[in-house]
Amino acid sequence: MKRLVIVANRVPDPKERGATAGGLAVALQDAVSRRDAMWFGWSGRTAEATATVPELVTRGRLTYATLDLGEQNYRRYYQGFSNGSLWPTLHYRLGLAHFDREDYAGYREVNAAFARALAPLLRPDDAVWAHDFHLFRLGAELRRQGCGQRLGFFLHVPFPPHAVFSALPRGDEMLADLAAYDVIGLQTEDDAANLRAALATEGQEEAAGRVVAIPIGIDADGFTKLAERAVEKPDMARFRRSLVGRALVIGVDRLDYSKGLPQRFIGYDQFLAQYPGHRSRVSYLQVTPISRGDVAQYQTLRRELDELVGRINGDYAEPDWAPLRYMTRAVARPTLAGFMRHARAALVTPLRDGMNLVAKEYVAAQDPADPGALVLSRFAGAARYLTGALLVNPLDPGEIAEALDQAMAMPLEERLARWRPMMEEVRESSARNWCRAFLAALEG
Ligand code: GDG
């Protein structure tokens, strides 16, 4: 089997094991455990200047190759263009996007630096798989270095209609850059259709023919086991006691404006206001680890959430009941699985999301004899696949309130009828199948 070279903005820490690894590392586990592989990207550290020679660490058949980023490259490529221009644009949030030519130059510079450092490490028959919005240009830069290998690209986030994307200055150049890849993967047919149309509009018809929709998934059975085992642990027993029989509602999201958290909190506020029968009977736990904390928009969002949490708890709390428990620290993956299993309902209401793995994890964590209900944004890629969810428009807090009331009152038979096909789907479109389908397309 050919060697697989994964390129991503971040490379997992070789010391990380399953339980702590991030989403992409978990999803790619199957692919990298079966063949020789290399994982190339940013080390997560900054230095005075971007490194030209990667640091190599080998663990079994997998080699980690990482580069430190220069301070200025980090600010321009990562904070500036990737997080400040591309992320909001790809999530349909033009009002939050800013553009700076120097940031864009920094983005191209880092894609070129990655390619220069990677090219000498490549073997002629390697398959190269680049991930996500940080690396639109990597394929074109590898071609400039003379690399003739098969090059694949997967965009984990949505791709908006061309009318939105074209608002991004140099968006046309970025689409032309994508044409260097042999396979271009997205999460849903809607995203794939948007990208194909955008490529065709920019005269890249041939590249449009190389766009495929392949949904990312999770290791469903692994997550079910994690959840089953977690509920037996003493810390989960203590957590359950703290609920004193109240139904749990769970939310798990990185602290990001794409996740619709203020709207969700306002929806929960309306739920308590409009359906007072649920007061004192429900406890909503929101786990929201801080991400991109050095970007101003994320700091503003954090303040907004702090204020909403304080107000909701202030308005409704009883001396022995807080309606909303809010954590900005990350929780260990097994504990998260335990929370999900115990929760009667999950609120997954992003304003836009490529897929949203939390929705799939919630489904996998459920007790097959007594599953909970999933309230899901119609603008998450997962909504295309999890048809048993209660779909809501996340911009309407009233819809969130109604769906949550419906979830809390839902009889067991309906919960079962909604959950079973979703569980089948989560098993079917697994992380393993995602990898295999993409690699089959890449390796032709
Ligand atoms: C991007 C796209 C697409 C969250 N908090 C904790 C924690 N998590 C884990 C979740 C889940 C993962 O992080 C988040 O994945 P999502 O898919 O929900 O969202 P993004 O991070 O925005 O991911 C998205 C994804 O890429 C994959 O293609 O689905 O659309 O935006 O696994 O459980 N994990 C731990 N502690 C936490 O506190 N351990």
Q: For all residues of the chain together, what is the average pLDDT?
A: 95
Torsions phi, psi for 177 (to 5 deg): -60, -40
Place 24 in a pLDDT band, splitting at 50, 70 and 90. Answer: confident
CA dist., res. 355 & res. 135, Å (int): 19
CA-to-CA distance for 107 and 121, rounded, in angstroms? 22
How remote is the CA of residue 251 from the centroid of ligand 1, in Å?
Answer: 12
Ligand 1 close to Cβ of residue 356 (< 6 A): yes
Q: What is the CA(295)–ligand 1 centre distance, in A?
A: 19
Tell me how far the alpha carbon of residue 257 lies from the centroid of ligand 1, in angstroms: 14
Is the C-alpha dihedral spanning 14, 17, 22, 27 positive or negative? positive
242 Cβ neighbours under 8 A, 6+ residues apart? none
Q: Cα of 254 to ligand 1 centre, how many Å?
A: 7
- Token pair in block for residue 70: 């220069």
CB burial readout 18-47, b (16+ within 10 A) else e: eeebebbbbbbbbbbeeebbbbbbbbeebe
What is the number of the ligand 1 atom nearest to the C-alpha of 332? 39
Average pLDDT over residues 87-102: 97
Ligand 1 binding pocket includes 157 (Cβ within 6 Å): yes
> Tens digits of per-residue pLDDT, 230-289?
988 999 999 999 999 999 999 999 999 999 999 999 999 999 999 999 999 999 999 999
What pLDDT is attached to residue 295?
A: 82
For the purposes of burial, counting CB atoms within 10 Å of the CB of 406, is it exposed (0-12), middle (13-18) or buried (19 or more)?
middle
Q: Is 211 in the pocket of ligand 1 (CB under 6 A)?
A: no
Measured from the CB, is residue 361 less than 6 Å from ligand 1? yes
pLDDT band at 294 (very low <50, low <70, confident <90, very high): confident
Residue 346 pLDDT: 98
CA of 120 relative to ligand 1 center, distance in Å: 33
Out of 13, 131, 187, 254, give the residue to mutate to test ligand 1, the one with the largest number of ligand atoms within 8 Å of its CB. Answer: 254
| Ligand 1, atom nearest to 359 Cα | 18
Helices and strands (H, E) in the chain, number of each type: 18, 14
Structure tokens at 411: 């009889």
**Whole-angstrom Cα distance, residue 12 to residue 14?**
6
Ligand 1: does its nearest atom lie under 6 Å from the Cβ of 219? no
pLDDT bracket for residue 297 (50, 70, 90): confident
Q: Which of 287, 357, 363 to mutate to test the pocket of ligand 1 (most atoms within 8 A of CB)?
A: 357
The per-residue pLDDT for 22 is: 61
Alpha carbon distance 187, 320 (integer Å): 44
Kindly tell me if the per-residue pLDDT of 441 is higher than 90: yes
**Nearest C-alpha to atom 38 of ligand 1 is from which residue?**
330
Per residue in 195-206, pLDDT tens?
A: 999 999 999 999
Query: Looking at the annotation, which residues are catalytic?
Result: 156, 353
- Between CA 65 and CA 90, with CA 431 as vertex, the angle to 5 degrees is 75
| Predicted local distance difference test score (pLDDT) of residue 21 | 53
Mutate to test the pocket of ligand 1, among 358, 376, 430 (most ligand atoms within 8 A of CB): 358
> In sequence order, what E strands does 247-330 have?
247-252, 282-287, 324-327
CA gap 379, 15 in Å, rounded: 36
**Is the model's pLDDT at 17 over the cut of 60?**
no
Integer Cα distance of 392 and 104 in angstroms: 36
% of the chain with per-residue pLDDT over 90: 91
Kindly give the number of the ligand 1 atom that is closest to the alpha carbon of 24: 27
Q: Which residue, 120, 167, 178, is CA-closest to 145?
A: 120
- CB 336 less than 6 A from any atom of ligand 1: yes
Identify the residue whose C-alpha is closest to ligand 1 atom 9: 23
User: For residues 4 and 127, is the Cβ–Cβ distance under 8 A?
Assistant: yes
Residue with the smallest CA separation from ligand 1 atom 32 is: 23
How far, in Å, is the centroid of ligand 1 from the Cα of 356? Answer: 7
> What tokens were used for 137?
């240009």
Pick from 224, 252, 266: nearest CA to 404: 266
- Which strands form 37-47's sheet, in the order they lie side by side? 55-59, 62-70, 37-47, 4-10, 127-131, 150-154, 183-186, 211-213
Q: What was the pLDDT predicted at 19?
A: 46
Residue 131, ligand 1, Cβ within 6 A: no
In the chain, what percentage of residues exceed pLDDT 70?
A: 98
β-strands 247-252, 282-287: how paired? parallel
Q: Ligand 1, residue 361: give the atom nearest the CA.
A: 33
- pLDDT band of residue 28 (cuts 50, 70, 90) is confident
Mean pLDDT of 366-385: 98
pLDDT tens for residues 161-182? Answer: 999 999 999 999 999 999 999 9
